Amino acid sequence: MELRHLKYFLKLAEELSFVRAADKLFISQPPLSRQIKELETELGAVLFERNNKRVMLTEAGKYYQKEIQELVQNLERINRTTKKISQNQSGEFRIAYVSSTFSGDISKLIQFLSNEYPFVNFRLYEVPTVKQIAALEEGKIDFGIIRAPLHSPKIDAQLWFKDSFSLVFNRNNYSIESEEELEKLNEATFVFFNKEYAPYFYDALLQICAKYGFNPKVVHESNNISSIIQLVKNGLGISIVPTAIKKSHNYPELEFVELKKSVLFTDILLATPKGNPSEISKLAIEFLTKPTFENEN
């Protein structure tokens, strides 16, 4: 008995027609009839009832179909896993993200990849964009979630989503109903990223505040979005942050007001070392860019 006997049997059991089964198997009808007869002879059991009008499974055939379907499915799973191991899809895969983008989406990605590649140890790191770019160029991480701008000939990247900016404040300290009220914040204390750590965000803050007619009084600086949010939550200032932050820092004390009139956006990029055709990276990009995630972001 060979594997082709089982596949031919399952196709005939599905179609219950030698003509249709042979057509879908890309063989002629006589070889299919011969293979089925060989299988029945080896088993010592009649699997199909045949007449000029129809083909039907016998009770033995129905039982054999159920058992063989499960066997073939397990065999296909074993083959896929063996191929993954052979292609070095085991070991370690390193994913980095900037703190301002972490959300349930990334957790779902790790869960999805872990199910697809059970022999891979997925490592997740919080790394700022500048350091991620260097790590990607040096091959120290395999997949990066970064914020534009990106200028590196050694990295391939594609857009995940465009993120707007939002004002965030403790509702017990401030009362701002809309972005039109931002001009009253000219004396407010701001909490923001360190200029050397995130120059793009710092410049964006200045541009946004200038658009609304004031210069921000930045008193507290941090290198981490979670620290910024915590300072705002504790009433030590207000901030302007990427809107996606709300998904992972939606505390009852905080109020977010999206700055829809601002023409500034920040692009979230999915980045890999250039020329790295990793199947895991391709699958990760496909998973994150599918329409359900695009709609959520």
Give the pLDDT confidence score for residue 41 in this predicted structure.
Answer: 93
Q: Identify whether residues 143 and 280 lie together within a single domain.
A: yes
Q: Identify whether residues 284 and 138 lie together within a single domain.
A: yes
Report the interhelical angle of 29-43 vs 18-25 (nearest 10°): 100
Give the pLDDT confidence score for residue 56 in this predicted structure.
Answer: 93
In order of 19, 53, 214, 236, 261, the CA distances from 29 in angstroms are 6, 16, 82, 80, 69
Give the pLDDT confidence score for residue 82 in this predicted structure.
Answer: 73
The predicted-structure confidence for 174-222, as pLDDT tens digits, reads as follows 888 777 777 778 788 899 888 777 777 888 888 888 888 888 888 888 8
CA distance 209 to 204: 9
The predicted-structure confidence for 3-60, as pLDDT tens digits, reads as follows 888 899 999 999 999 999 999 999 999 999 999 999 999 999 999 998 877 899 999 9
- Cβ atoms of 219 and 188 closer than 8 Å: no
Q: Identify whether residues 173 and 134 lie together within a single domain.
A: no
Q: Identify whether residues 71 and 149 lie together within a single domain.
A: no
CATH value at residue 56: 1.10.10.10
Under the banding of pLDDT at 50, 70 and 90, the label for residue 143 is: very high
Rounded to the nearest integer, the mean pLDDT of the chain is 86
Q: Identify whether residues 65 and 104 lie together within a single domain.
A: no
Q: Identify whether residues 154 and 290 lie together within a single domain.
A: yes
Tell whether the model's pLDDT for residue 295 goes beyond 50.
Answer: no
Q: Identify whether residues 152 and 172 lie together within a single domain.
A: no
Q: Identify whether residues 175 and 57 lie together within a single domain.
A: no
Tell whether the model's pLDDT for residue 88 goes beyond 60.
Answer: no
Q: Identify whether residues 151 and 274 lie together within a single domain.
A: yes
N-term to C-term CA, the chain: 53
Q: Identify whether residues 101 and 186 lie together within a single domain.
A: no
Last residue of a domain, one of 86, 115, 150: 86
Q: Identify whether residues 133 and 275 lie together within a single domain.
A: yes
Sign of CA dihedral 83, 87, 91, 96: negative
Last residue of a domain, one of 86, 105, 125: 86
- Cβ atoms of 194 and 167 closer than 8 Å: no
- Cβ atoms of 113 and 120 closer than 8 Å: yes
Query: Count of domains in the chain?
Result: 3
CATH value at residue 197: 3.40.190.10
The predicted-structure confidence for 96-129, as pLDDT tens digits, reads as follows 998 777 667 888 999 999 998 888 899 999 888 8
Burial class (CB in 10 A: 0-12, 13-18, 19+), 67: exposed
Tokens representing 5 are 């006997």
Last residue of a domain, one of 57, 86, 115: 86
Q: Who has greater pLDDT, 141 or 103?
A: 141
The predicted-structure confidence for 224-250, as pLDDT tens digits, reads as follows 788 899 999 999 999 998 888 888 788
Provide the 10 A C-beta neighbour count for residue 100.
27
Q: Identify whether residues 50 and 122 lie together within a single domain.
A: no
Which structural domain range is residue 136 located in? Answer: 91-162+267-296
Contacts of 184 (CB under 8 A, 6+ apart): 176
Task: Kindly report the pTM of this predicted structure.
Answer: 0.62
